């Protein structure tokens, strides 16, 4: 069965610090997708990134970067030079790939990030 | 584009009452989902649908029923509300999983906060 663990419940950093949010996943499938979503204080859920299991290249988007390591079953998210607007709950999620499609997303419990000015 | 619209946004029920949450999407997505979010629990899948007239159970389906009579609508029903169903409910939709470029990228509604007294 698929499982996502976000061990960090809450993180607090001072503005301009770098911060890494950890995500560890479990799956028996060789084909799967990993996701990160952001939930700001307003409550909506915003898609950040999707990565498939065949692509282990790290990805960078502005101040955001993602490190995917199949050897450790991790898909960590780093925010460089954090800003107050980065304060949110961040969710990691996993979808397994099956022959006829993919399973619905299973989410981790989330990490609440507070960036202090 | 409205995206995914949930109604109502807030509702207070007494134990034993029934209600229906409505989700509507205008993106021509094939798949639709209902998740619930509880503090410290992340997002848990209640039910989902891969097309009109088709529904499937998720992780926490007990006490809920769903219907997908039209492609754009997905209804979540509580027949006899219980305090344990106090939660924030999120509807989401996505293209069918076979479209790999967009596989399982969920678009979420704004959420519906339900309180059962």
**pLDDT cut 70: percent of chain A above it:** 96
Q: Report chain B's terminal Cα–Cα distance, integer Å.
A: 36
pLDDT in tens, B68-89: 999 999 999 999 999 999 999 9
Confidence label for B55 from pLDDT (cuts 50, 70 and 90): very high
Question: Which of A98, A4, A44, A117 has the alpha carbon at shortest distance from B59?
Answer: A4
**Predicted local confidence at residue B96, as pLDDT:** 79
User: Among all chains, which residue has been given the structure tokens 């991790």?
Assistant: A74
Secondary structure percentages of chain B, helix, strand, coil, to 5: 5, 55, 40
For residue B8, is the peptide bond before it cis, meaning its omega torsion is within 30 degrees of 0?
yes
- In A78-117, the residues whose Cβ lies within 8 Å of chain B are 91, 93, 95, 101-102, 104-110
Report, as an integer, the average pLDDT of B81-104. 85
Q: Closest to B58 (Cβ–Cβ): which among A91, A102, A104? A: A104
Instruction: Reply yes or no on whether the pLDDT at B98 is more than 90.
Output: no
| Chain B partners within 8 Å of A45 (Cβ) | 43, 90, 92, 106, 108
Strand partners, B49: B32
Question: Which of A41, A37, A77 has the alpha carbon at shortest distance from A61?
Answer: A77
| Chain A partners within 8 Å of B103 (Cβ) | 33, 50, 52, 95, 102
**Predicted local confidence at residue A59, as pLDDT:** 86
**Predicted local confidence at residue B115, as pLDDT:** 97
Q: Closest to A107 (Cβ–Cβ): which among B43, B48, B103? A: B43
Confidence label for A100 from pLDDT (cuts 50, 70 and 90): low
The answer to whether the beta carbons of residues A22 and A4 sit under 8 Å apart is: no
String of b and e for B71-104 (b: at least 16 CB within 10 Å)? Answer: bbbbbbebeebeeebbbbbbbbbbbebeeeeebb
**Predicted local confidence at residue B99, as pLDDT:** 59
**pLDDT cut 90: percent of chain B above it:** 86
Q: Closest to A102 (Cβ–Cβ): which among B58, B104, B111? A: B104
**Predicted local confidence at residue B61, as pLDDT:** 97
Confidence label for A17 from pLDDT (cuts 50, 70 and 90): very high
Report, as an integer, the average pLDDT of A40-64. 91
């Amino acid at each position: 069965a698929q499982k996502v663990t976000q061990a960090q419940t809450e993180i607090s950093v001072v503005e301009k610090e770098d911060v890494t949010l950890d995500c560890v996943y479990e799956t028996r499938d060789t084909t799967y997708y990993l996701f990160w979503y952001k939930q700001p204080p307003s409550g909506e859920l915003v898609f950040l990134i999707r990565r498939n299991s065949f692509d282990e290249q790290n990805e960078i988007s502005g101040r955001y970067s993602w490190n995917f390591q199949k050897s450790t079953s991790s898909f960590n998210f780093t925010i460089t030079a954090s800003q107050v607007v980065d304060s949110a709950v961040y969710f990691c999620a996993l979808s397994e790939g099956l022959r006829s499609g993919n399973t619905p997303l299973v989410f981790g419990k989330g990490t609440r990030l507070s960036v202090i000015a | 584009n409205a995206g995914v619209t949930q109604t109502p946004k807030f509702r207070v029920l007494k134990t034993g009452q029934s209600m229906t949450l409505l989700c509507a999407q205008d993106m021509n997505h094939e798949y639709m989902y209902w998740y619930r979010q509880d503090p410290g629990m992340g997002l848990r899948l209640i039910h989902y649908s891969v097309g009109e007239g088709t529904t499937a159970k998720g992780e926490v389906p007990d006490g809920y029923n769903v219907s997908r009579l039209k492609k754009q609508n997905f209804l979540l029903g509580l027949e006899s509300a219980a305090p344990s169903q106090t939660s924030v409910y999120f509807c989401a939709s996505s293209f069918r999983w076979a479209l790999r470029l967009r596989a399982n990228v969920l678009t979420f509604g704004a959420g519906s906060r339900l309180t059962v007294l």
